[in-house]
Amino acid sequence: MRLPTLRGDLARHMQIHGTSELTEQLVMSKVYGNGMSDFSRLPPDEVVFGTSGEMSLARANLQLAARSDVPVLLQGESGTGKDILARLLHARSSRGHQPWVKVMCPAIPHSLIESELFGHERGAFTGANCTKRGRVELAHGSTLFLDEVGGLDLAVQAKLLQLLQDGSFTRVGGQETLRVQIRIVSSANVNLRRKTDEGSFRLDLLYRLNAITINLPPLRNRIHDLPVLIDYFLHRYSDSLQRAVRPLSSQTLTQMRRFSWPGNIRQLENLIRSYVVIGDEDVLRADMFPEAEPDEFTQIDLAQPVCLKQITKSMTAKLEQEIIRRVLEAQGGSRRKTARWLNISYRSLLYKLGEAHSLDGIKTE
């Protein structure tokens, strides 16, 4: 299969598909695969891997994987650095000079994910006014990164399995079998083996995806790497925001070592970025350890009859709001990740967010 080149096939592509389709393809290439420009700001190895035993193993596995084209599965909690490792893997592989194509699986509606991945033919469905190449074709000769692959539905999993088996696929609404040469790297922040037991993820697909598995530990399990990570983010955001570097006090560093970091490295990065802007350690500490609100139980006047059912309902609702708030912050504002973390449906979470007025100040996706 020969994909259109920017020089030789540009005019022909415009004649066949129209300028709107060409514009869409160029935008997709820029958004989903910026080539080497995506990797110019990758952290150095001492920051990415630190000194923990688990990360040393991850580093060794990444070096092995970079020398092959087999599929790689990155596993770990949200915010542990799976995206960074996927970029490092691509940059250090033989495909590193090709554009990088990333698909954030849960961010694309189920009704659109097949077309986004595999493309569609003109007239395949209402609104398909021209042929469109999907991310799979854009990744021809390069790396396709499927972030949070556990979010794919079973129908798309079947087409992905076929792609992994022989590199073939068909566009939505198409009859022609197309072939690509790509390397698939995927990530998961959930236990895919458990999802196979539940019937929501294909076991044969899991076996195809995890030819090499790289496990990333949570930040709380590599707390000795905290000083290096803090120093890196301090200098990075001080430079980008043009602020003077303000080292943290030993008291704050001690408290940070005791923190559980539910949002992992992403949460640390967000805290340091805010600190660089505000410059107040008290605000940073307050973000990690919010002051406890007055105990409402002690404020209940039991000297007169009360409605136990109403009090219990009110306190349960407030506790639920606080749990949602903390998980939502730890998941970087992602509603879908929060719903999975709380083991509730996305619809249920949206309903609860509609009632949780105290969450209005949190930015969500």
Residue 4 has pLDDT above 60, yes or no: no
- Segment 243-253, tens digit of pLDDT: 998 999 999 99
> Is 335 in contact with 362 (CB distance < 8 Å)?
no
Kindly list the domain boundaries of the chain, sorted by start residue: 10-217, 220-291, 304-365
The pLDDT of residue 13 is 40
- Segment 157-172, tens digit of pLDDT: 999 999 999 999 999 8
Host H or E run for residue 183: strand 183-188
226 pLDDT band (50/70/90 cuts)?
A: very high
Q: Amino acid identity, residue 231?
A: D
Q: Under CATH, what is the fold of the domain 10-217? A: Rossmann fold (3.40.50)
The pLDDT of residue 11 is 37
23: helix, strand or coil: helix
Q: Please report how many Cα atoms fall inside a 13 Å half-sphere around the Cα of residue 175, on the Cβ side.
A: 1
274 pLDDT band (50/70/90 cuts)?
A: very high
> Is 335 in contact with 349 (CB distance < 8 Å)?
yes
- Segment 292-338, tens digit of pLDDT: 444 555 566 676 787 888 878 888 888 888 888 888 877 777 888 88
Sign of CA dihedral 42, 107, 234, 329: negative
* C-alpha distance from residue 146 to each of 98, 116, 153 (Å): 17, 12, 13
CB atoms within 10 A of CB 244: 7
The pLDDT of residue 129 is 81
Domain covering 220-291: architecture: Orthogonal Bundle (1.10)
Residue 25 has pLDDT above 90, yes or no: no
The pLDDT of residue 40 is 65
Q: Under CATH, what is the fold of the domain 304-365? A: Arc Repressor Mutant, subunit A (1.10.10)
